[in-house]
Amino acid sequence: MSDIAATASGKGHKDENFPVASLFAPRHRAAVLAFYDFVRAADDISDHATLPGDQKIAMLDRMEAALLGSGEDIPVASRLRAELAERGLEPRHAQDLLIAFRRDVTQLRYRDWDDLIDYCRYSAMPVGRFVLDVHGEDRARTWGPNDALCAALQIINHLQDCAKDYRNLDRVYLPQDILAANGAGVEMLAAERASPQLAATLRALAERTQELLKESAPFADLIADTRLAMEVGAIQRLAETLTARLRVADPLSEKVHASKRQYLLTALAGAGTTLLRRLVSPRVAAASVAP
């Protein structure tokens, strides 16, 4: 087993908070899963609890070299490179994610909201952009709302896992200026439950996330591919549900991830609503395929 394979967490696409390739047509699923497997391997490197930082960076550099075909044979990189070549796609989205994973090694704090969104530009937005490119969707129509939704999903994960990230990796994605404005400090993340100051910070960030989700609300109706639109509708509904919960829940002492039953019902509601709009509203269907 290679040193890169040895860092694997064992987590797969079915363990994620949001759907991964669940509704995609078979012709797209292989590319999406190859992308996921590459990103999962790189994420496991950056999140490894005991590897030194310089070793993590070196391994991520090797992942990129393998993706570009100029380094050793790393299976997850080779599979993604083959899928990209078959579809005539560039590796830029995977490379952007590698920038984020390197940043996870070297940057443990974020100044403000803009600093956090810049991180999301590399850590989250490329995922949706890749899926859109695989489906041949119009970048001009879809990348804006995609970026808002992907940033929201990333920040939801940051809020859910804020205590774990701090305790295990000393990473704090909560912007320093918002913490300070509420009289909170990063050390409060080590407590068994959120202090009033930390709770106010988390609530403020959940509210900012709700604004992102307002920006992404039209996304599903801008997508030509109906299956992909349903997937996005499911993710949008799940994100809205989790963000509403994060406004009132304490991720330090409460479970804020959706249960399997909640996940399924919420996702089905979002996907079904998206499909229903296409069936009953000719304007929505027409907008989704307009040039």
Instruction: List domains and CATH numbers for the chain.
Output: 25-106 (no CATH), 111-280 (1.10.600.10)
Q: Tell if the pTM clears 0.85, that is, is over it.
A: yes
* C-alpha span between 93 and 255 (Å, rounded): 32
Residue 288: the pLDDT is: 53
Answer yes or no: are the C-beta atoms of 150 and 219 closer than 8 Å: no
Q: What is the pLDDT of residue 6?
A: 74
- pLDDT given for residue 255 in this prediction: 86
Q: How far apart are CA 278 and CA 231, in angstroms?
A: 14
Cα distance between residue 179 and residue 109, in whole Å: 11
Q: Tell me the torsion sign for CA atoms 8, 97, 186, 199.
A: negative
Tell me which residues of the chain have a pLDDT lower than 50. Answer: 12-21, 285-286, 291
Query: What's the pLDDT score for residue 9?
Result: 57
Residue with tokens 């994100």: 239
Angle between helices 139-160 and 196-216 (to 10 degrees): 160
What is the three-class DSSP state of 155? helix
Residue 58 per-residue DSSP state:
H
Using alpha carbons, list the distances in angstroms from residue 290 to 149, 271, 275.
22, 21, 17
